[in-house]
Amino acid sequence: MKIKKREMMSSPEWRIMDASLNRASEGLRLLEDLVRFTFNDSSLSGRLKGLRHYLAGAAIPWQKELLTSRDSPGDIGRDADFDPDPSREDLISIIRSNAKRVQESLRTMEELAKLPELNKAFDWAKLKEMRYSLYELEKDILTRFQENNSG
């Protein structure tokens, strides 16, 4: 089945993919900055940066489709407060919430990448691999924070 360019650019799948890419990239950047400036750990920071750069690179050929599908003013979730606890107690709570945000976004992208419209644009298996990498990164970051705060 050949998809017309016009249909592809206005589809909800591209809009969801755009929002998920943005959400994942923002969460990864926050985690990267926390690790970079808290621990000066180039290895951990580099792993996060690698994930973020992969997403950015994967999106480059599809920027037109992603941007055309974006409707920030029309997003019903834009002004809604879905966060049950908008305050954060400490850096650990920020790490947990952002790691979950990235994991959920990667899962969304992974599932969408299985659709015919998006499977040529995004590698669902790589997105799944990234999600599992982030599970380990979250554990490594939280372990590092706990070690720093226990001594």
Could you tell me the residue ranges of all domains in the chain?
5-72+95-150
pTM: 0.84
In terms of pLDDT, which residue wins out, 101 or 10?
A: 101
Q: How far is C-alpha 56 from the chain's CA centre?
A: 10
The residue with tokens 């790490």 is 95
For the cut 50, the answer to whether the pLDDT of residue 8 exceeds it is no
Instruction: Give residue 102's pLDDT.
Output: 98
Q: What is the DSSP string of 4-56?
A: PHHHHHT-HHHHHHHHHHHHHHHHHHHHHHHHHHHH--HHHHHHHHHHHHHHH
Q: Which pLDDT does position 85 carry in this prediction?
A: 58
What's the pLDDT band for 6 if we cut at 50, 70, 90? very low
Residue 136 has pLDDT above 60, yes or no: yes
Phi and psi at 3, nearest 5°, equal -100, 130
Q: Worst-scoring range by mean pLDDT, 12-16, 42-46, 77-81?
A: 77-81
